[in-house]
Amino acid sequence: MDYASGDAEEGDMRYLSQTMMQATMHVMHKVITVVNATTTALEAYSHTDYDEQPYHTSALSGTAWVTELLTGHPERIRCELGVHKHVFYVLINLLRQAGCRDSNHVPLEEQLAIFLYASVTGLSICHLGERFQRSNETISKYFKRILFAFSSPPIYTTYVRLPDADSPLAPEIVQNQKFFPYLANAIGAIDGTHIACHPFGEDRHAARDRNGNFSQNCLAACSFNLCFTYMLSGWDGSAADAHAIDFTIPEGKYYLADAEFGSCDGLLVPYPGHTFGVIKRRFRILLLPPEYVMGIQVHIPPALCLVHNVIRVHDPNEMMEYRNVLDEHLLTDTRSLADGPPTEQAHTCADLRRDQIASEMWEDYNKERVQRGMQAIIESLL
């Protein structure tokens, strides 16, 4: 027997065994080290005073940016927030009168700026947070606070209210010979549109329109100086199917309406509407909806109607650049504002009124031609 060969093999086995044992111990040591490090990190992260790296570290805070806007070039604040400085302070005064106040960390001016900047730009919450150097929760909190203040009494009802029987005739009618006296009983115009929304869950089916998009179906009444007097938003179905029980029309008065609305006693059709073209151009949030639940999104159109009216009252010349804006998103499926379709009698009365106004206009037009030495046109208008 070769004893030397046997001893060599036994030595090799012992060496191999020791090597494997050392490798195993090394791996186990690494695993234990990783586990300990992970446990330590988790414990540190869960600890209340964990030193997390700050996210918003810009030298220009939201408060400082708003201060720059209020003290800088007068057109800068209008570009960024959609209103001139004096209108901004009108809105601030309305909020203070309604009980809104500075918070411990966010002054009321910055709260309003968050809402206006979001409405003008349509930016997401995280992008607004970067602009104002605030957390997403803070941005959402103050956006909703101003939103509800502007879409609720007493602020909303101060600037957005329906005319009554004693309301004076609109200067835009009285001072225009083409309209007066023919439209003396017209108290405004109504218009409808689809405004983009971002529904969740079961709201997605109800918010899907005929084109497959998600939208709120909105109806508004507007005075002849382009101030909103009524806004209805966020109901199921079309504007034509709405039972607008709070939309009242004084006896003997009527609204001008687009031809797609059904003819009835309270409407005079056709009348091309462009009310929503202005407000959509002014506030991009109506085209780029935020990701809030529908119960919050339905407050956005009324709140922005309030802001629009405040601008019209306190900064009337600002409207000039919107004079030629036409709404490309007019509602095309409207029919009647009544509780159900208008009756045949309502159709007949409305058509007679429209034809009478047209006949009076035609007769006066021929009189004017004769006074100027021109021959009257014999053909009947109707």
77 and 211, same domain (yes or no): no
Tokens, residue 275: 């009310």
Q: Is 141 exposed, middle or buried (0-12, 13-18, 19+ CB in 10 A)?
A: middle
334 and 348, same domain (yes or no): no
pLDDT at position 170, please? 87
Best CA proximity match to 121, nearest among 287, 278, 279: 287
Best CA proximity match to 273, nearest among 225, 194, 330: 330
DSSP per-residue string spanning 195-217 = EE----TTHHHHHB-TTS-BEEE
pLDDT at position 380, please? 53
269 and 226, same domain (yes or no): yes
260 and 210, same domain (yes or no): yes
Residue 87 belongs to a domain: yes
Residue 208 belongs to a domain: yes
Residue 8 belongs to a domain: no
Residue 116 belongs to a domain: yes
As for how many domains the chain has, the answer is 3
Residue 121 belongs to a domain: yes
Asked if 254 and 266 touch (Cβ cutoff 8 Å), the reply is yes
pLDDT tens for the chain, 382 residues long, are 455 555 566 666 776 677 777 777 777 777 777 777 777 666 665 655 555 788 888 999 999 999 999 999 999 999 999 999 999 999 999 999 999 999 999 999 999 999 999 999 999 999 999 999 999 999 999 999 999 999 999 999 999 999 988 888 888 888 888 888 888 888 988 888 888 888 888 778 878 877 888 888 888 899 988 899 999 887 554 344 444 557 888 888 888 887 666 666 677 766 655 567 788 889 999 999 898 988 899 999 999 999 999 999 999 888 766 655 544 443 333 333 444 455 555 556 655 666 666 666 666 666 776 777 777 776 654 4
pLDDT at position 102, please? 97
166 and 112, same domain (yes or no): no
Best CA proximity match to 271, nearest among 339, 182, 348: 182
Q: Is 63 exposed, middle or buried (0-12, 13-18, 19+ CB in 10 A)?
A: middle
DSSP per-residue string spanning 48-115 = TT--PPPS---SS-HHHHHHHHHHS-HHHHHHHHSS-HHHHHHHHHHHHHTT----SSS-HHHHHHHH
330 and 201, same domain (yes or no): yes
Pick the last residue of a domain from 101, 120, 150.
150
pLDDT at position 7, please? 59
Which residues, 6 or more positions from 279, have their beta carbon under 8 angstroms from its beta carbon?
286, 304, 305, 308
348 and 334, same domain (yes or no): no
Residue 20 belongs to a domain: no
78 and 130, same domain (yes or no): yes
Q: Alpha helix (H) ranges present in the chain?
A: 3-46, 62-71, 74-81, 85-97, 108-121, 125-132, 136-150, 155-159, 171-174, 203-207, 275-282, 294-297, 300-314, 344-371
**Distance (Å, rounded) from C-alpha 93 to C-alpha 106?**
17
pLDDT at position 235, please? 53
Residue 37 belongs to a domain: no
146 and 180, same domain (yes or no): no
120 and 168, same domain (yes or no): no
Angle between helices 108-121 and 74-81 (to 10 degrees): 60
Residue 178 belongs to a domain: yes
Instruction: Provide the residue range defining the domain that includes 145.
Output: 62-150
83 and 215, same domain (yes or no): no
Asked if 116 and 311 touch (Cβ cutoff 8 Å), the reply is no
81 and 143, same domain (yes or no): yes
- How far, in Å, are 114, 129, 291, 300 from residue 122 at the CA level? 11, 13, 11, 12
Which residues, 6 or more positions from 173, have their beta carbon under 8 angstroms from its beta carbon?
179, 180, 183, 184, 186, 224
